[in-house]
């Protein structure tokens, strides 16, 4: 004997089958026919399952099954995870159209929510005691949920802070804004510490307000975009434009005038009232005119300016294999030191090097030079 649910499903399956046949004969559209066939197949499958389990009913004369029937089981607890899975599925669909980041986020959401959903269902069937089931779930899940939740929370805080810092107009306003925030945090912490006790709801509410403000600030700053940061050109950029001259360039702004003691220099070139001279490590001899440096090695050259005017140190390089014709330092102030690293890929007797005038060290605006010999 068929149950009520089975009768309804078998009737719907029959109606769907008749509609499918009529549509296929009279209209003949391939897409519509495939859709109706799929609907009919699904209804027949569900009807068969329902008939097999007999609507989860228990025969009236089988008293032993009353307590074990599905109707006698406790109602499952409410769960938000099906909704989260649906949201993840929507993100996947949007990501296919908009951006792959949404698709990846949707996949992560679906997998995490599905795992939580399965875990909740397993814990509810552990026993008939809800408190015991909750304890069993917490014992298994909290060891993974708490670290992941903390990592996500900290990541959001750091990301929102970065959006706010990059969104404020200037560096000075960033310092002022975060000084104010630090003061507020200090005052709030002092007020909380003065209280002998603080209830959990109040503490949770306080952190909720702070989190909402941070998320709102980060969202607003993120939508407004990052502040425009002026690109800082390097000396290499100006060297390619052949602008290693006496005039000040943007690369000279706030240039360091000192070099660390571990620079491992190959030579120290000094400019004073007598002109250019150099000394080699381990030798106390002051030399000028010609210096020999190895090929295919990085040579760190220290330039020290002992004159009363800012000077730029230049290494004249041959344009070999696309290398720049010259490289230079920023302007070196009186008493300042800067480092220039040169690497020679061809010897001095190479025809390309000889045609370009050879290797040398010069100072912008002066005729004095040191010829570099590369064997």
Residue keyed to tokens 């908009």: 98
Mean pLDDT for the stretch of residues 191-205: 73
The pair of three-digit structure tokens given for residue 51, joined into one six-digit string: 């008939």
Contacts of 293 (CB under 8 A, 6+ apart): 266, 267, 299, 342, 344, 372, 373, 374
Residue keyed to tokens 């603080």: 198
261/136: higher pLDDT: 136
Mean pLDDT for the stretch of residues 139-151: 81
Which strands form 299-305's sheet, in the order they lie side by side? 275-279, 267-272, 299-305, 337-342
Highest mean pLDDT among 148-162, 227-241, 333-347: 333-347
Contacts of 326 (CB under 8 A, 6+ apart): 239, 242, 244, 314, 315, 316, 317
- The span from the CA of 369 to the CA of 277, in Å, is 9
pLDDT at residue 292, as a whole number: 92
Whose CA is closest to 335, among 303, 298, 360? 303
200/15: higher pLDDT: 15
pLDDT at 262 over 70: no
pLDDT at residue 64, as a whole number: 54
Mean pLDDT for the stretch of residues 162-174: 72
- Are 287 and 279 in contact by the 8 Å Cβ rule? The answer is yes
Mean pLDDT for the stretch of residues 69-90: 76
CATH architecture of 235-373: Sandwich (2.60)
Q: Sketch the domain layout of the chain as residue ranges.
A: 1-73, 126-224, 235-373
- The span from the CA of 158 to the CA of 177, in Å, is 16
pLDDT at residue 225, as a whole number: 67
- Are 153 and 160 in contact by the 8 Å Cβ rule? The answer is no
């Amino acid at each position: 004997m068929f149950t009520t649910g089975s009768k309804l499903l078998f009737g719907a399956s029959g109606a769907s089958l008749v509609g499918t046949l009529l549509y296929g004969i009279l209209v003949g559209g391939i897409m519509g026919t495939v859709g109706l066939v799929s609907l009919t197949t699904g209804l027949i499958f569900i009807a068969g399952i329902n008939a097999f389990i007999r609507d989860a009913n228990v025969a009236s004369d089988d008293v032993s099954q009353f307590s074990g029937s599905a109707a006698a089981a406790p109602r499952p607890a409410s769960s938000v995870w099906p909704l989260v899975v649906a949201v993840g599925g929507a993100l996947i669909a949007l990501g296919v159209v908009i951006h792959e980041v949404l698709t990846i986020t949707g996949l992560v959401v679906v997998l995490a929510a599905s795992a939580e959903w399965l875990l909740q269902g397993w814990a509810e069937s552990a026993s008939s005691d809800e408190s015991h089931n909750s304890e069993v779930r917490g014992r298994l899940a909290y060891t993974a949920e708490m670290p992941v939740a903390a990592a996500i929370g900290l990541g959001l805080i750091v990301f929102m802070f970065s959006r706010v810092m990059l969104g404020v107009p200037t560096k000075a306003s960033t310092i002022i804004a975060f000084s104010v925030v630090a003061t507020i945090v200090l005052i709030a912490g002092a007020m909380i510490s003065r209280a002998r006790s603080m209830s959990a709801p109040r503490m949770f509410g306080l952190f909720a307000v702070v989190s909402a403000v941070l998320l709102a600030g980060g969202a607003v700053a993120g939508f407004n975009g990052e502040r425009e940061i002026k690109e800082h050109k390097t000396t290499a950029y100006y060297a390619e434009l052949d602008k290693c001259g006496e005039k000040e360039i943007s690369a000279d702004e706030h240039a360091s005038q000192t070099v660390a003691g571990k620079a491992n220099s190959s030579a120290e070139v000094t400019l004073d009232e007598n002109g250019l001279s150099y000394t080699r490590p381990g030798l106390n001899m002051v030399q000028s005119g010609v210096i020999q440096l190895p090929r295919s090695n990085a040579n760190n050259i220290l330039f020290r300016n002992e004159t009363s005017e800012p000077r730029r140190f230049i290494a004249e390089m041959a344009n070999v294999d696309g290398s720049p014709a010259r490289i230079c330092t920023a302007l070196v102030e009186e008493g300042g030191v800067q480092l220039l690293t040169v690497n020679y890929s061809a010897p001095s007797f190479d025809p390309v090097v000889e045609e370009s005038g050879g290797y040398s060290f010069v100072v912008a605006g002066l005729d004095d030079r040191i010829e570099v010999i590369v064997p």
